[in-house]
């Protein structure tokens, strides 16, 4: 009896403490909101200049959300279409990537999407955007031009461009339409009847596209499949579950959402029979594989249904919902963490909310062990660690400067590609196209004559080391060594272009192929010499090794 009484007292004390904590919390919330409102009222009345309420309070909202995590965002009414595009992958416009040409200081067409208005209107890579209707675009940035190219579907405008290969100016009438950015960018059978599918994002109904492509390849004799999720930043959680369901039986728990509010918790299980629960599958991932992509790859790993190949994924284990706000605004709000079949959450960064917000990457030493269906060890935190780690070729410094829009003021790579496309009405199919050594030599000479420069990291670090050695008094003793090292590290542009020749040839080929075969061609061409893809195919061609990896047998 005494035990029961003590337990009752303990429960009542606990409830009293919890109530006190809640009271303190709500008092603090009211207090801070009162302070904020009072500060703004005084600013509005007394500040020396008239305030723009939208700008000042908007800045406060953005700062508040910035202290939480990068996924909680406020979308005012005028940005509502941006949120819609995030969830659906759809927007109304002409269907083309645009970029800033640093040499011309103009926005230009970079890549029309296949079958979209820009493509049907005959726009080509490098076309300079001069005006949209009566609005000049010659001194505008990418964001401004993009906002004018977009609009309500069915609306028509006049686009004036200049084609750099001919110098000719053209005026083209274009009608905007709803643009669905490609989700299944490319799929097809590779040698040895290995199927390949590249999924770029998880938008509405992408699982149907994956399903249809899988069935088509299976009917053509596919014996194993590579699902490429590299660079896929995620999207719809429900679509991720449906894609996993293509490969695993009905009634399997795939992902659980858990947060502060019990009513927002949710479990997602497979709801239909799989298309194929036996065919070997390899999933390719990298450090940009995130969110729904990690649910897909992580669930298939936890269920021992696929071998994961590549590098560790991004580690986004948070879930967002969209809330309607007054005056047609929206809030994309982080409400849950998600947990995949083994029970682990793969969130890599702990977002701290004190002192204005800071982040802390969860070290491997603090991660916990979980187990797959076959008893293999996997860990939470830090994303999905592949079963087979294959590092991709890193982009060289010179390649980065040549290929990145805005970094190279000479735009020598873009100009070479525009000229190449103008001179070649057709090229080889994507799986075979490459830049010849003769063509590369032509490109090299253009670079050397263009005045192209880029940051030489080794020289930069050497200069910093020299400064530090002089500051600490060690330079004179090591002066000869420093001077010798400086001579060895002095960059020679021609030598750099030769050393990174193969990589730069692939960068050129990728851009050029897109002008003829669009994004699907770019993806297919990128598989030439792809080490991670080669490893995936090797594993799929060795069923004994594939089964051994998934069994956990050492």
- Residues with a catalytic annotation lie at 291, 302, 316
Vertex 412 angle, CA 409 and 418, to 5°: 125
Where would I find the beta strands (DSSP E) of 29-182? 73-75, 90-93, 96-101, 106-112, 128-132, 135-136, 156-162, 169-175, 177-180
In the block, tokens 């995590």 appear at: 69
**Is residue 119 within 8 Å of residue 95, measured between CB atoms?**
yes
Angle formed by the axes of helices 292-302 and 237-245, nearest 10°: 30
The label of the residue with tokens 């675009």 reads: 137
- Cα gap 517→357, rounded to integer Å: 45
Residue recorded with tokens 């009542």: 12
Distance separating alpha carbons of residues 110 and 96, to the nearest angstrom: 7
Collapsing DSSP states into helix, strand and coil, what is residue 294?
A: helix
Cα 131 to Cα 153, 174, 176: the distances in Å are 20, 13, 16
| Whole-number Cα distances in Å, 443 to 408, 422, 494, 510 | 15, 15, 11, 15
**501 and 440 Cβ atoms separated by less than 8 Å:** yes
Kindly report the CA angle at 532 between 316 and 536, in degrees rounded to 5? 100
**Per-residue tokens: 191:** 């040698």
Which pair of structure tokens corresponds to residue 170?
């053209």
Cα maximum dimension of the chain: 97
SS3 category, 542? coil
Between the alpha carbon of residue 224 and those of residues 210, 536, 541, the distances in Å are: 15, 10, 8
Count of beta carbons in the 10 Å neighbourhood of residue 136:
11
Identify which of 359, 383, 381, 361 has the alpha carbon closest to the alpha carbon of residue 69.
Answer: 359
8 A C-beta contact, residue 309 and residue 227: no
């Amino acid at each position: 009896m005494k035990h029961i009484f003590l337990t009752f007292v303990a429960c009542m004390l606990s409830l009293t403490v919890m109530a006190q904590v809640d009271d303190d919390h709500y008092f603090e919330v009211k207090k801070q909101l009162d302070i904020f409102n009072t500060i703004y009222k005084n600013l509005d009345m007394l500040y020396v200049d008239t305030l723009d309420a939208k700008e000042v309070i908007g800045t406060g909202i953005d700062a508040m959300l910035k202290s939480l995590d990068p996924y909680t965002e406020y979308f005012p009414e005028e940005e509502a279409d941006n949120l819609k595009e995030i969830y659906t992958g759809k927007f109304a416009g002409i269907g083309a990537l645009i970029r800033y040409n640093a040499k011309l200081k103009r926005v230009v067409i970079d890549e029309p999407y296949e079958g979209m208005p820009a493509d049907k209107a005959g726009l080509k890579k490098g076309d300079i955007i001069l005006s949209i209707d009566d609005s000049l675009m010659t001194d505008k940035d990418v964001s401004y031009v993009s906002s004018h190219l977009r609009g309500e579907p069915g609306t028509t405008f006049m686009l004036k461009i200049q084609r750099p290969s001919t110098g000719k100016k053209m005026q083209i009438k274009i009608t905007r339409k709803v643009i669905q950015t490609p989700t299944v960018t490319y799929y097809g059978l590779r040698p040895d009847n290995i199927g390949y599918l590249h999924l770029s994002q998880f938008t509405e109904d992408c699982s149907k596209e994956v399903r249809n492509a899988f069935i088509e390849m299976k009917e053509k004799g596919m014996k194993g499949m590579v699902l490429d999720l590299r660079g896929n930043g995620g999207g719809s959680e429900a679509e991720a579950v449906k894609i996993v369901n293509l490969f695993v039986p009905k009634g399997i728990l795939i992902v659980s959402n858990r947060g502060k509010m019990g009513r927002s918790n949710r479990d997602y299980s497979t709801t239909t029979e799989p298309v194929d629960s036996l065919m070997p599958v390899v999933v390719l991932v990298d450090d940009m594989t995130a969110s729904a992509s990690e649910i897909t790859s992580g669930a298939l790993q936890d269920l021992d249904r696929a071998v994961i190949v590549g590098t560790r994924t991004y580690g986004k284990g948070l879930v967002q919902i969209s809330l309607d706000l007054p005056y047609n605004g929206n809030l994309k709000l982080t409400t849950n963490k998600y947990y995949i079949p083994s029970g682990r959450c793969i969130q890599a960064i702990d977002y701290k909310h004190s002192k204005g917000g800071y982040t802390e990457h969860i070290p491997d030493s603090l991660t916990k062990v979980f187990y797959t269906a076959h008893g293999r060890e996997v860990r939470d935190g830090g994303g999905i660690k592949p079963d087979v780690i294959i590092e991709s070729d890193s982009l060289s410094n010179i390649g980065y400067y040549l290929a990145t829009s805005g970094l190279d003021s000479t735009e020598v790579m873009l100009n070479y590609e525009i000229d190449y496309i103008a001179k070649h009405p057709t090229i080889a199919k994507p799986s075979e196209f490459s830049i010849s050594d003769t063509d590369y030599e032509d490109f090299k000479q253009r670079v050397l004559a263009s005045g192209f420069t880029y940051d030489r990291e080794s020289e930069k670090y050497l200069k910093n080391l020299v400064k530090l050695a002089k500051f600490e008094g060690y330079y004179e003793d090591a002066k000869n060594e420093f001077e010798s090292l400086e001579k060895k590290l002095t960059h020679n542009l021609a030598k750099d272009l030769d050393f990174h020749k193969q990589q730069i040839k692939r960068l050129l080929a990728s851009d050029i192929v897109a002008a003829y075969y669009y994004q699907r061609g770019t993806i297919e061409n990128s598989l030439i010499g792809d080490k991670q893809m080669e490893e995936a195919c090797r594993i799929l061609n060795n069923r004994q090794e594939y089964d051994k990896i998934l069994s956990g047998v050492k």
